[in-house]
Amino acid sequence: MLRRYFHNRPHLVYIGPALLILGILTFVPTIFLYGLSLTNYELGYPDFKFVGIDNFVRLFSGQDAEFWYSVRISLGFMIIVTVIELLLGFGLAVLLDREFKLKPLAFACLIVPIAMTPSITGQIWKLMLNAENGVVNYLLGFVGGKVIWLSAENAFLSTVLVDVWQNTPFVALIIYAGMRSLPSEPYEAAAIDGANRTQIFRFITLPLLLPMILLAVVFRAIDSLKTFDIPYSLTQGGPGSSTEFLSMHVYRLGFAQTGWVGRSAAVSVVLLVLITVISWFLIRAYRKGVENRG
Amino acid sequence: MNAYGSKKLGIGTGLLLLIVCILCIFPMFWMILVSLKDKALTYDPSVWFFSPTFENYKAVFEDRNAVDYLKNSAIVVILTTIVSIFIGGMAAYGFARFEFKKKENRAFWVLSLRMLPPMASVIPLFVMASLIGVLDTHIVLIVAYMLFNIPFTIWMMRSFFEEIPIALEEAAFVDGASRFRVFVQIILPLAVPGLIATAIFCIINSWNEFVFALFLTSSQASTLPTTVTLFLSVSGVAWGEMSSIGVVTILPVLIFAMIVQKYMIRGLTFGGVK
């Protein structure tokens, strides 16, 4: 009986183990997370009780001002970072899209930020952005500038800067790959019809590159919404809570400053839902873009 | 061929590219520089030329247990990569060569795990691991890292398997070979470059992972990225030691990344862009 079941589904032997492991690793913790978010479990206290949706009521009724602040700066960070990286990455891809001898060297340089451990990235930028002894202010000093990079007003923008440094090459590489695979026929047709450069860019290049651009947006938007490593080592969410993004908020609430695991589980449920909704929309847009190209 | 025709590099664009390249490698360069500085020079950004000293490296290896972190990172990364390549590679072949109901839906579900915020899985994993008593062990990280390594392997290897002509397998089937024998003796040898590239990406991603390592380990199984927690306090931050342990952390991944440069775009997009 079991033998016949597998005989009729030969693929199960191959994909079964992976799907089983991934299923256990996602479903069990997710259910556990939802369960936790309904309790008042605290780190170090074995006793806890179910409090229903109290944790969520607290979040959405506005009692928890820090939560809404986290949501706002997380969404803001996502939009700002994605737009800047897309624009810079596009420009960089245009620069790379030509023949020159040292191209492998240029790529080797671009890979450095992509591969660098994000938590170490935050750490080294913390040294470089230091107001008194940092090299960035030292170099700015030659043109008479000085910025307190990690002050309460500037910490958010500094985090943006570091994220842009780390991830722009990633966007550039994806868009560059798209430019390399553009078909030549539409351009020949456009040349015959006498289209100018702006028209060619607007009506041929941009639509053909749209799937790649959307792919880059999907990756960057989702990853920047989840951001944790860089803020953790760069600012620890501070000064105060000025860079306390959602992931950081979960960490501080549940594990760093207070041990309210139940409440922080509720925040991470919100983060999970937010990411699911946003990625659903983005991926749908991406699939549409791919279909329209054909 | 490039759609624009082959463009040449002008002086202006060349200069711009040079600036971009310098910006990309400057933080690494600066980190190496600070790590080689004498204690007295560490906090002076105007000193760029000096006689290098290795006292910071000596300090992190002798006083900060850098060897332990290095060892933990290596154990976790190697084991999770081996298991993920094995299990994910099998599944990738299943997705590449079989037709079955809801295939694309399942493949897509696997891909969607890439979007999962680690912060959402790590809280229940932390509580579960502490209930079972495996907190702060290698095994908990090895298992947790499979959560992103297996989906990655499935999508990467699927794209590599699909490039292998199906006619090769059919010829072997005609000769009476079983499906599994064909997989092991014909497909796997042909997929070795892809397997190596995929394994290296798994190594890079696991090596760089921070959230799981921060929550699930504390002293016995901590990996290199968690060393940033050693240097959080404002008083007594040792920039030289911070930098030298940073260099120790990023050098292996940079070397690996240079090896898979050819597959970089493919690896970054889960096999989606070749």
Assess whether B123 and B229 both reside in one domain.
yes
Whether B158 is covered by a domain: the verdict is yes
ipTM: 0.88
Confidence of residue A269 (pLDDT cuts 50, 70, 90): very high
Please report residues of B whose CB lies closer than 8 A to that of A29. 121, 124-125, 128
Which range of residues forms the domain containing residue B155?
62-268
Domain annotation covers residue B212: yes
SS3 state of residue B138: helix
Check the CA dihedral B223-B228-B229-B230 and report its sign.
Answer: positive
* Contact criterion met (CB < 8 Å) for A36 and B123: yes
**Do residues B42 and B102 both lie within one domain?**
no
Whether B76 and B192 map to the same domain: the answer is yes
Using only the alpha carbons of chain A, give its radius of gyration: 24
Contacts of B4 in chain A (CB under 8 A): 97, 187
Which residues sit opposite A50 in a β-bridge?
Answer: A39
Residue linked to tokens 């930098």: B243
B152 to chain A, minimum CA–CA distance in Å?
12
Contacts of A120 in chain B (CB under 8 A): 225, 228, 246, 249-250
A 182-211 near B (Cβ less than 8 A)? 182-184, 186-187, 205
Claim to verify: residue B25 and residue B109 sit in the same structural domain = no
Residue B34 near residue B239 (C-beta atoms within 8 A): yes
The answer to whether position B211 is within a domain reads yes
pLDDT category at A29 given cuts 50, 70, 90 is: very high
Give pLDDT, residue B234: 57
Average pLDDT along chain B: 88
In terms of domains, do B45 and B166 share one? no
Q: What is the mean pLDDT of residues B116-133?
A: 90
In one-letter notation, the amino acid at residue B127 is V
Is B96 part of any domain? yes
Q: Is B64 helix (H, G, I), strand (E, B) or coil?
A: coil
Q: pTM (2 decimals)?
A: 0.90
Please tell me whether residues B204 and B253 are part of one structural domain: yes
- CATH classification number, A38-293, choose in 3.20.20.70, 1.10.3720.10, 1.10.10.370, 3.30.70.260: 1.10.3720.10
Quick check: is B273 in a domain? no
Please compute the mean of the pLDDT values over residues A257-277 and round it to a whole number.
90
Cα B49 from Cα B29, distance rounded (Å): 13
* pLDDT for the residue B144: 94
| Residues in Cβ contact with A139 at an 8 Å cutoff, skipping those fewer than 6 apart | none
Identify whether the C-beta of residue B151 lies closer than 8 Å to the C-beta of residue B114. Answer: yes
Same domain, B90 and B48: no
Structure tokens that stand for A124 in this block: 């080294």
B211 and B176 together in one domain: yes
CA distance A77 to A226: 10
Report d(CA B250, CA B259) in Å as an integer: 14
What's the pLDDT at B216?
92
Please say if the pLDDT value at position B5 is more than 70.
Answer: no
The predicted structure's pLDDT at residue B75? 95
The stretch B152-169 carries a mean pLDDT of 91
> In the structure, what pLDDT confidence band is assigned to residue B3 with cuts at 50, 70 and 90?
very low
Domain count of the fold of chain B: 2
Same domain, yes or no, for B113 and B215? yes
Q: Across chain A, what does the average pLDDT equal?
A: 89
Q: What is the pLDDT of residue B236?
A: 59
Note the pLDDT tens digit of each residue in A186-214. 888 888 988 888 888 888 888 888 888 99
Please tell me what DSSP assigns to residue B96: H
Specify burial of residue B164 (Cβ count, 10 A radius: 0-12, 13-18, 19+): middle
A-B CB pairs within 8 A amount to 272
d(CA A255, CA A228) in angstroms, rounded, equals 14
The structure tokens 């994909």 sit at A15
Mean pLDDT (whole number) for A76-87: 96
Residue B107 belongs to a domain? yes
Give the angle A175-A176-A181 at the CA atoms, nearest 5°.
Answer: 95
Q: Kindly give the residue spans of alpha helices, DSSP state H, lying in A9-44.
A: 11-37
pLDDT above 90 (res A182): no
> Does B7 score more than 80 pLDDT?
no
SS3 content of chain B, % helix, strand, coil (to 5): 70, 0, 30
State residue B21's pLDDT score. 94
Distance from CA of B80 to the nearest CA of A (A): 13
**What CATH number is given to the structural domain containing B140?**
1.10.3720.10
Greater confidence (A199 vs A145) lies with A199
Q: Are residues B104 and B74 in the same domain?
A: yes
Q: Are A73 and A163 in contact (CB under 8 A)?
A: no
Percent of chain A at pLDDT exceeding 70: 99
Residues B162 and B253 in one domain: yes
Establish if A227 touches chain B: CB-CB under 8 angstroms: no
Q: Kindly state whether residue B2 falls inside one of the protein's structural domains.
A: no
Q: Answer yes or no: do B37 and B128 share one domain.
A: no
pLDDT of residue B23: 94
The verdict on residue B274 lying in a domain is no
Q: What's the burial of A7, exposed, middle or buried (CB within 10 Å: 0-12/13-18/19+)? A: exposed
Minimum mean pLDDT range among A120-129, A251-260, B76-85: A251-260
Predicted local confidence at residue A293, as pLDDT: 60
Gap between the Cα atoms of A249 and A241, Å rounded: 9
Lowest mean pLDDT among A31-40, B21-30, B231-240: B231-240
